[in-house]
Amino acid sequence: MRSILAPLLLGLVLFTSDLSAEEAQAGIAPGTHWAQPWFARLDARFPGQGFHARWDFYRCDCGDAWIKAEETLPEGISRGEMLLVGGRVLLVRGFEGRGEGGELRAVIDSPMLMLQLLFVLMQKTAPDGPAALIERRELAHADEIYPLQLETGGAQGGFPAPWEVEGIAYRFEDGSHRFDLDFAFEMQVIGEPASRSEIDLSGMFDYQPRDFPLAPDMSLEGWTLIPLIEDEAGTYESADNLGFIREMVQSRRGG
């Protein structure tokens, strides 16, 4: 099974470019692309559907990713945390009422798919990357032919053509990047006329290195541990802290 974390760590579109002096002053490392923030906040709203979510993503150079979620549904608010360890283990805390096993494992799908969608849209509207985006910029892109296909390794999704996105992005005074995008696409149901759907995406990226908030000695009490590799069920049952899981993941990867 491929790592669910791959799109977050490796990026969706790789490119190289020479940075100007102005870009270098932005404090972003040469070659950085949109899919490499150390921290990202994404607010996703689905107008007319009663759904709003805020996800905070923290990336660790050790290969982990921590996601804090607050999702507002017509039936109420769901809050929780997800911690991906080395792409092999998922730790989940909170999300009361979301069940166990496969249902609890699926809580990672929505934030990862929406984050991947955001990276794709930023790459299409600002392909020169975050280092080149210093002043406020109007963003727009449309495609009448090709759909957007998303795949995280654990889930798949997509948006049919025609679709379009427009909005703004700018570099804030603290060095982070802010964005506000309106994404629209057409949904076609057999036997019914096509209908327009929208998703509003807003939030921020921070590409400046920062310490990972979760320490290796963090207790696993209150967390549900879900192995993501089928033949590793039961492998991590003896782990009692985050550092121990990291060591076990590293050994399973042969390093």
DSSP string, 148-192: EEEE-SS-EEEEPSSEEEEEEEEE-TTS-EEEEEEEEEEE--TTS
Asked if residue 122 belongs to a domain, the reply is yes
Q: Which domain holds residue 150?
A: 6-252
- Average the pLDDT over 160-181 and give the result: 95
Asked if residue 1 belongs to a domain, the reply is no
Asked if residue 84 belongs to a domain, the reply is yes
* Residue 123 to residue 17: CA distance in whole angstroms: 14
CA 143-167-124 angle, to 5 degrees, is 40
Q: What is the pTM of this model?
A: 0.85
Q: Are 214 and 85 in contact (CB under 8 A)?
A: no
Asked if residue 198 belongs to a domain, the reply is yes
Asked if residue 48 belongs to a domain, the reply is yes
Into how many domains does the chain fold? 1
Asked if residue 195 belongs to a domain, the reply is yes
pLDDT single digits (tens) 81-108: 999 999 899 999 999 876 665 577 889 9
Asked if residue 222 belongs to a domain, the reply is yes
> Quick one: DSSP state of residue 18?
P
Asked if residue 68 belongs to a domain, the reply is yes
Answer yes or no: is pLDDT of 5 > 60. Answer: no
